[in-house]
Chains A and B, each alone.
Chain A
Amino acid sequence: MHFGLTDEQEMIVSTVRSFVENEIYPHEAMVERTGQVPHELGEEIKQKVIDLGFYACNFPEEVGGPGLSHLEFTLVERELGRGSMALTHFFGRPQNILMACNDEQRERYLLPAVRGERMDALAMTEPDAGSDVRGMKCQAVRDDGDWVINGSKHFISGAEHADFFIVFIATGVDDTPKGPKKRITTFLVDRGTPGFEVREGYNSVSHKGYKNYILYFDNCRLPDAQVLGEVDGGFDVMNEWLYATRLTVAAFSVGRARRCFDYALNYSAERKQFGQPIGKFQGVGFQIADMITEIDAADWLTLAAAWRLDQGLPSNREIASAKLYASETLARVTDTTLQIYGGMGLMDDFPIERFWRDARVERIWDGTSEIQRHIISRDLLRPLGA
């Protein structure tokens, strides 16, 4: 067993770390205050990332990406997790799902996305269909050889910057012994398509500036050429590609937890009460010990899951465990750090209150903690007939 990184991997980590510290941190307070990233700033960050060859670093060489392993890409995501998500969005990791593009779609979507010319967003969730993806109501029906779409999607991140959307839409129902089951198809929808509209969404306390939007389809007509993968093959596309985003949530959580922990560690060494650094009180010192233990555990769980993917081993359960544990660790670490800061932790003079707010969504999106536990337990119990 070998737990070390290669020289290249160390350099990837240190380059991304310096990039986040120098190009992202200085703008964080402004993004937090204004709740948005100015267009020029986003473009400037994107251009720097393109110049550094890190744009779309989750893509293989055959389509113009750098061909990193899952482990290496996870290391990149971990370092990016330190920075504001609204800003690191421009570090550009298009949805892996675009690899499902056919030759013609490659030219229109995949390749421009990898080059940073077109940005994407992914839409699955609906007001009445969150964890229960199959419960979606947004539907496409056949009309004169095209698809006509009606319905809506909400909580769609990155929509303001997106040039096109990867949208999961119901295309029929099957009767099964367990009751009716929706068939789902993945569509590529360009911004500006008639009958398709992007509207402002809700205000979230997590990740200010990384806004969510609502998509409306009102008799929106799409030709077959906009179907990604097979008609009715939406779940195949999801299963083949969506694990990747869950692993990125785990990696994000570990990186953010480490940044937060450094604040806790330094503050407990510097802040004095009753004539001594508060870290000397066992009540605080033990919290430091528990935090670093959990962060290290979450880190290894995440890297091990990425390593399994690289080995081609079954990884679904391991990724779910990593996502579950890392996001919950981040919640505990940010909460404990805030407690160590006392009242000052709540003030926006320090980034702690922001880390604490940001952390909350990690246990919800890309599959709630409960859904991850469901995946883990079903993986273990189903083979036993339970």
Chain B
Amino acid sequence: MKVLVPVKRVIDYNVKVRVKADGTGVDLANVKMSMNPFDEIAVEEAIRLKEAGKADEVVAVSIGVKQAQETLRTALAMGADRAILVVAADDVHTDIEPLAVAKILAAVVKEEEPGIVLCGKQAIDNDMNATGQMLSALLGWSQATFASELDIDGDSAKVTREVDGGLQTISVKMPTIVTVDLRLNEPRYASLPNIMKAKRKPLDEKTAADYGVDVTPRLEIVSTTEPEARAAGIKVDSVDDLIAKLKDAGAV
């Protein structure tokens, strides 16, 4: 079975985000970019499937600017076998919307015929949480979102999902789309031998046009603002005092 893992190049989670002067988004020029942390978890899970003998090939795919190549190299250094880069924008500030990404992914899936697509549940840049679901709809495949456990058994997969108020375990038919949550695994560091090997692994470069997908944005960003500064806290003398204050504030 082949595993397809879409990975997105996003602003590094350690970077202090600054809003661009014109309010169209955040400044991405000259800031550290990394693989979306949820996608890292997806890559890790794919490699573990391969190590467990349940998959025989892990293919990483990224859609975006040419620099997403670095993100793919990271996936290869972690242990993915090959990579596909779909260049769909020139400007690092252009975000390809989930529907366009899902359409390109659907085309890649038709070509690659994976048994499972492992996506991050969302990208930490715009938190859309939509691509996996849209891809499932476009392909007519089953989907299991927010996975914290994944167990593939023949032509079905048992997925534990993190939902409001607890865990839900469902069984889905293969092939399937699984979007992964934080607690599924702890991604590995790229080992030095794998970093050195990554360069020799194949990385195919395509464009959005190759798949006949129009990536023109459908959404318009009206404004972007800094989150409001947190108001200063207060110190309380005792637990009783704390409860009283919380009651006053209507929090308990």
Contact = CB atoms under 8 A, between A and B. Distances in A.
A222 B189 CA distance: 44
Contacts of B34: 14
B189 A18 contact: yes
Given A7-B198, A7-B199, A66 B192 contact: yes
Given A7-B73, A10-B70, A11-B73, A53 B191 contact: yes
Nearest to A11: B195
B163 interface: no
A15 B69 contact: no
A66 B198 contact: no
Main secondary structure, interface of A, reads helix
Interface in A5-42: 6-8, 10-12, 14-15, 18-19
A184 interface: no
A7 B70 contact: yes
A19 B198 CA distance: 19
B186 to A, nearest CB: 10
B227 interface: no
B191 A57 contact: no
A386 to B, nearest CB: 46
Contacts of A11: 73-74, 77, 190, 195, 198
Interface residues of A, number: 16
Contacts of A14: 34, 74
B214 to A, nearest CB: 30
Contact of A57 (B70, B189, B192, B198): B192
Interface string B175-189: 000000000000001
B70 A66 contact: no
A48 to B, nearest CB: 9
A53 B189 CA distance: 11
A117 interface: no
B19 interface: no
A117 B69 CA distance: 38
A54 B69 contact: no
B249 to A, nearest CB: 27
Contacts of B192: 12, 15, 52-54, 57, 66
A148 B179 CA distance: 69
A66 B193 contact: yes
A4 to B, nearest CB: 12
A144 interface: no
B199 A52 contact: no
A91 B215 CA distance: 46
Nearest to B188: A52
Contacts of B74: 11, 14
A53 B190 CA distance: 10
B190 A15 contact: yes
A52 B190 CA distance: 7
Interface of A: 6-8, 10-12, 14-15, 18-19, 51-54, 57, 66
10 closest A-B pairs (Cβ-Cβ)?
A53-B192, A53-B191, A53-B193, A7-B73, A11-B195, A52-B191, A54-B192, A66-B192, A15-B190, A15-B189
16 contacts: A7-B198, A8-B73, A8-B198, A10-B70, A11-B190, A11-B195, A11-B198, A14-B34, A14-B74, A15-B190, A15-B192, A52-B192, A53-B192, A53-B194, A54-B192, A66-B196
Given A11-B195, A12-B192, A52-B192, 11 more contacts: A6-B199, A7-B69, A8-B73, A8-B195, A8-B199, A11-B73, A12-B195, A14-B34, A14-B74, A51-B191, A53-B193
Interface of B: 34, 69-70, 73-74, 77, 189-196, 198-199
